[in-house]
Chains A and B, each alone.
Chain A
Amino acid sequence: MNTCPENIVQWMNDYLDGDIAPADETALKEHLESCSACRKHYQELSKTIAFVQSASHIQPPGDFVQATMARLPKERQRAGFQRWFRQHPLLTAAALFCILMSAMLFSSFNDEQQFAFTKQPNLVVEGETVVVPEGEVVTGDITVRNGDLRVEGELQGDVTIVNGKYMASSGVISGEVEEIDQAFEWLWYTIKNGVKDAASIFGSDNTETD
């Protein structure tokens, strides 16, 4: 054994790793042919590898996937939302905006339970009824809240009545008449108008840039 090269075991390991310098490999092979102790050592090492590799493949139990999925944390729904918010900041902002806007809308709807109407010259008020008197001509749109409208003269414009009635009479209206009775209709009306306004803003923008 005292003639064995110092690095003989290292060479064996390098060789088994498939990572040995050609010169070392030649030296290793030469030495193994002449030295039975080292040859035995090498054979034991390769037998060891074969032994470990003879381990058969072990299969996980049949319900492994289901069992694993059942162990996943339950708060994933919330985590999912959080991820979603993180990844869609714009949509999150938009949703927040919508919520705040509708809250504002409802509060303003509740504030506006009082009788109110668009001021126009020539209009006469009787209790909670707005009257366009006979023989008079009113130019412009009229909005009446929480009150009625009676037209005896002539109205050149649109009429919007919230929580009230348009009382048909002998008068003439040259625009559209719209009656809104409920909160949701009021909401819808406001949104519709908002969109119309926005469209007209963008429309005028376009015409300016054109």
Chain B
Amino acid sequence: MDALVNKRINRVIKGDQNAFAEIVELYQNQLYQICYRMLGNRHEAEDIAQEAFMRAYVNIHTFDQKRKFSTWLYRIATNLCIDRIRKKKPDYHLDAEVRGAEGLNMYSSIANDDELPEDELTRMEVQERVQYEISRLPDKYRAAIVLKYIEELPLAEISEILDLPLNTVKTRIHRGREALRKQLSNL
């Protein structure tokens, strides 16, 4: 797989645009999936996935062919997704600890403001509900959870995609799982 992809990359570097279309063909499903789960919106997912491919194309000569192409591509995409999510959010840092409340941060104090009423939740279809709950996760946990449980990638690869130490990735997955558990406690 890697050798095949690298062959196409070399053709792209030589100016063969069709070779890049083949690369898009190969990775479109996974990349779109990641973007959709991160953003929770088909239109935005398409936009960001295309943007990610476009950036990969423009910077293809910087890709180190000894590494895995998918890791590099997913990294571009998750960064774009996180940027997009942060742009949509209000300007305060949710991670910042609330004054005088040790261990509490803005996440806990906003206490899921956008939470839907329970009867509405129970009326949701399962698929809708899954996406809703993923979307409620803080972006840094969301990326780790999506890569781990939707894409089912090994932890080492997730740590490379997110450019974080392995232990940090583990912590984020643990916290993400714990946050989801609390969100789903009424299930």
A residues with CB within 8 A of B: 9-10, 13, 16-17, 19, 41, 44-45, 47-49, 51-61, 64-65, 67-69, 71-73, 76, 79-80, 83-84
A4 to nearest B CB, angstroms?
16
A17 touches B54 (CB 8 A): no
Q: Which residues of B contact A57 (CB under 8 A)?
A: 29, 33
Which of A10, A44, A54, A61 sits near B130, CB closer than 8 Å? A54
Q: Which residues of A contact B17 (CB under 8 A)?
A: 69, 72, 76
**Is there a chain A Cβ closer than 8 Å to B89's Cβ?**
no
Task: Across the interface, name the chain A residue whose C-beta is closest to B13.
Answer: A83
B173 to nearest A CB, angstroms?
7
**Is there a chain A Cβ closer than 8 Å to B187's Cβ?**
yes
B20 touches A58 (CB 8 A): no
List 26 contacting pairs A-B, 8 Å CB cutoff, sorted by A: A9-B178, A13-B177, A48-B180, A51-B130, A51-B133, A52-B180, A55-B130, A57-B33, A58-B45, A60-B46, A64-B28, A64-B46, A65-B25, A68-B28, A68-B53, A68-B54, A69-B21, A71-B50, A71-B51, A71-B54, A73-B57, A83-B13, A83-B14, A83-B61, A84-B14, A84-B15
B54 touches A64 (CB 8 A): no
B29 touches A59 (CB 8 A): yes
**Is there a chain A Cβ closer than 8 Å to B150's Cβ?**
yes
With known contacts A57-B29, A60-B49, A51–B184 Cβ distance under 8 A: yes
Q: Complex Cα distance A72/B54, Å? A: 6
**Is there a chain A Cβ closer than 8 Å to B8's Cβ?**
no
Q: Which residues of B contact A55 (CB under 8 A)?
A: 37, 127, 130-131, 134, 150
A52 touches B28 (CB 8 A): no
B80 to nearest A CB, angstroms?
13
A48 touches B177 (CB 8 A): yes
B33 touches A73 (CB 8 A): no
Residue among A54, A57, A59, A64 with max Cβ neighbours from chain B (10 Å): A64
A68 touches B50 (CB 8 A): yes
Residue among A10, A55, A73, A84 with max Cβ neighbours from chain B (10 Å): A55
B54 touches A73 (CB 8 A): yes
Q: Complex Cα distance A16/B133, Å? A: 20
Question: Could you mark each residue 45-67 of chain B with 1 if its beta carbon is under 8 Å from any beta carbon of chain A, else 0?
Answer: 11001110110011001000000
Q: Which residues of B contact A72 (CB under 8 A)?
A: 17, 20, 54, 57
Question: Could you mark each residue 94-122 of chain B with 1 if its beta carbon is under 8 Å from any beta carbon of chain A, else 0?
Answer: 00000000000000000000000000000
Q: Which residues of A contact B127 (CB under 8 A)?
A: 55-56
B145 touches A52 (CB 8 A): yes
B5 to nearest A CB, angstroms?
16
Q: Complex Cα distance A59/B46, Å? A: 10
Q: Complex Cα distance A67/B13, Å? A: 21
Q: Complex Cα distance A58/B46, Å? A: 11
If A17-B173, A54-B126 are given as contacts, then 14 extra A-B residue pairs at C-beta distance below 8 Å, sorted by A number, are: A16-B177, A17-B155, A57-B33, A58-B33, A58-B42, A60-B29, A60-B46, A67-B50, A68-B24, A69-B21, A72-B54, A72-B57, A73-B57, A73-B58
Residue among A10, A48, A49 with max Cβ neighbours from chain B (10 Å): A48
Interface residues of B in 142-187 (CB under 8 A from A): 145, 149-150, 155, 170, 173-174, 177-178, 180-181, 184-185, 187
